[in-house]
Amino acid sequence: MVCNQCENAYCLTVCPAGAILRNKDGIVLIDHDKCIGCGLCAEYCPIKAVIIDPDTRKAVKCELCQGNPLCVEACPTGALELVHKRKNQ
| 59: DSSP letter | E
Predicted TM-score of the model (pTM): 0.82
Cβ neighbours for 20, distance < 8 A, ≥ 6 positions apart: 9, 11, 12, 28, 29, 30, 31, 41, 59
Domain assignments of the chain as residue spans, ordered by start: 10-74
User: pLDDT tens digits, residue range 7-59?
Assistant: 999 999 999 999 999 999 889 999 999 999 999 999 999 999 999 999 999 99
CATH code for the part of the protein at 10-74: 3.30.70.20
Q: How far apart are CA 61 and CA 56, in angstroms?
A: 13
In order of 11, 62, 69, the CA distances from 14 in angstroms are 6, 18, 26
Backbone angles phi, psi at 42, to 5 degrees: -65, -40
